[in-house]
Chain A
Amino acid sequence: MSMAHRAIGVPRDAVLHAALGFSLFGAFVLSLAAGPAPLGLTDVAAALFGQGPEAAQLIVREIRLPRALLGVMIGASLGLSGAGLQGLLRNPLAEPGLIGASSMAALGGVIAMYFGLYTVFPLALPALAMLGALAAVALLLVLAGRDASSLTIILAGVAISSLGAALISLAINLSNNLFAVTEIVFWLMGSLADRSMDHVWLTLPFMAAGWLLIASCGRALDALTLGDDTAQSLGVDLRRTRFLMVAGTALSVGAGVAVSGAIGFVGLVVPHLLRPFVGHEPRRLLPASALGGAILLLLADVGVRLVPTAAELRLGVVTALIGVPFFLFLIFKTRREMA
């Protein structure tokens, strides 16, 4: 085969994936090693495989391992769905929060807390949050209807997000229990602290299903680069693609919000940072963004544990503090390109 032939094949991104995989491994180890109990890397490794003092084993296997695993899963969900939604809507400002799934999932969680359901049945919170995300999708499909344009999806998403936020405010407003209000407000800020392996097992099937749905859209997202009509003329079923993307986002992000509370901007920032490394191609961006999202969320979660503040910083607060300036920069850049 000539050089030209090889050049025309699909780039495999092997180097990029290796670099991201290596970084992810490093971030995962850091996450296992970070915490108030002073454990060295060898202590952590020993405890992970059931060796060493029982207290260390308990800390690593019951506290830090689920936290790190959830960081990977939720970060990957946010990165993957952000990349997918930006491809679907061809809007660089799109992110999972956009379709209202995050907000409605948070509402589900708040309902579980407001009525104290989760004190009776601990898994009520994640279950209701996922229901909230699915309700958001159902509502989106009803509002946007058949053959919805990208603009319609964005407007419907804004409406659903606002509805979720309004109902959360209503719950806080009506609550006469200061303790419950504090709990709700802190949960909404997002955190991975004090989660267990139960959370991992409960949410993994939903997230994995969501990842598969989004991954199955890769081809269609590539074709959508050329616009709706041309993509259809290339054999893409637009309605099916929109449904798969929205359902995949609801499942993976909804399950994530259920465990961690609202964590914003990862799905916005990561695809932007990685796009130049995959030739700006939507399909190639998907796996890269999943890895990138996992790395960013793990590092942010290590960050909240290392920064010495009186109360531990909330993960959602940190990602927003990183994300908002980035968001403003994007708007500024978009404006400059339009001018």
Chain B
Amino acid sequence: MTVMRLSAIDVVRETRPILERVSLSVASGEVLGIVGPNGAGKSTLLRVMAGLLAPAAGTVELDGRDLRSWNRNGIARRIAYLPQHPECHWAMAAERVVALGRLPHIAPWQRPRAEDRHAIQAAMAATDVTHLARRSAGTLSGGEHARVMLARALAAEPALLLADEPVADLDPYHSIDVMDHLAGLARAGRAVAVVLHDLTLATRYCDRLALLDCGRIVAEGPAEPTLSTENLAGVYRVAALRGRHEGKPYLLPWTRLPERPEPS
């Protein structure tokens, strides 16, 4: 089932177009990877999807309804947004940080109910941070911090999780760990849209990829055709090693190409 559909989205900053006629959808049960070089408009696209940025033109639909007709809290109950480098300003206990993710479900001046506490516990168990509950957020390692922030996003039990570069600061072990969690969420019936720079992880974990370049979607679909040799050369100016392991394709960016090939 389609959770979110974007139609012909334009975003303009000053007079410079950031996104041009971007159409994209994400359905429950799938991981959608948003890839593209620096400055392609990936983070902007994710912010439009989160309702944090109103597009200059085009429509965003959530559950088949125009996002503009949703109220802020309604969106917050359906969509969780995990920014790049998530910050935690005060030295709160990790468990209380995770509990913040539950705010959209708790009415003002109300205390958390049993289901809220269950959701918080389940999110912490899913990302394996239960043992960190009492630790101050400022004392966590990079991997622990990333998992606590992921638990924060999961605590809302969102239909759609938007994650901007969730593995940017992580070592290989924790990168694979986080991606396993995202894939697990999709298997559990959620929709996941994730911005990734790491094309190897994107190829392995995403059911579908949208390749962005200069604010436009250049290609969209399964990983292999989307990250074809031509597209990698045209958009990233790299060539990659390819192979298969246990039936799954892998891709490893390997050499830099001199310049963009002329369009024929």
Chain B interface (Cβ < 8 Å from any Cβ of A)? 47, 50-52, 72-73, 75-77, 79-83, 86-93, 95-97, 99-101, 103-104, 108, 111-112, 114, 117, 120-121, 133, 136, 152, 156
Contact = CB atoms under 8 A, between A and B. Distances in A.
A282 interface: yes
26 contacts: A1-B114, A4-B121, A7-B133, A8-B99, A9-B112, A10-B99, A10-B112, A90-B90, A216-B108, A219-B103, A222-B103, A223-B100, A225-B97, A226-B89, A227-B83, A229-B50, A230-B86, A233-B50, A233-B76, A234-B103, A235-B72, A235-B73, A236-B72, A237-B72, A279-B96, A281-B90
A275 B92 CA distance: 10
A227 B52 contact: no
Nearest 9 Cβ contacts at the A-B interface:
A235-B76, A233-B81, A235-B73, A280-B90, A90-B89, A280-B91, A235-B104, A227-B87, A8-B117
A232 B162 CA distance: 14
Contacts of A9: 111-112, 117
Interface centre among A8, A236, A281 (most CB of B within 10 A): A8
A5 interface: yes
A134 B120 CA distance: 42
B90 A235 contact: no
The majority secondary structure among interface residues of chain B is: mixed
A91 B80 CA distance: 26
A286 to B, nearest CB: 13
B20 to A, nearest CB: 23
A235 B103 contact: yes
Interface residues of A, number: 29
B76 to A, nearest CB: 4
Contacts of B101: 234
Contacts of A8: 95, 99, 112, 117, 120-121, 133
B222 to A, nearest CB: 29
Given A225-B89, A235-B73, A236-B72, 7 more contacts: A219-B103, A229-B50, A233-B52, A234-B100, A275-B90, A280-B90, A281-B92
A225 B86 contact: no
A70 B103 CA distance: 36
B104 A234 contact: yes
A226 B80 contact: no
Interface of A: 1, 4-5, 7-10, 90, 216, 219, 222-227, 229-230, 232-237, 275, 279-282
A222 B108 CA distance: 12
A1 B100 CA distance: 22
A219 B108 CA distance: 7
Contacts of B77: 235
B93 A226 contact: no
A4 B156 CA distance: 19
B92 A279 contact: yes
Contacts of A224: 89
B79 A226 contact: no
Contacts of B111: 9-10
Of B79, B80, B88, B89, the most chain A CB neighbours within 10 A belong to: B89
Contacts of B47: 229
A229 B76 CA distance: 12
A5 B90 CA distance: 24
Nearest to B130: A4
B107 to A, nearest CB: 10
Contact of B52 (A225, A229, A280, A282): A229
Nearest to B92: A280
Given A8-B120, A237-B72, A223 B103 contact: yes
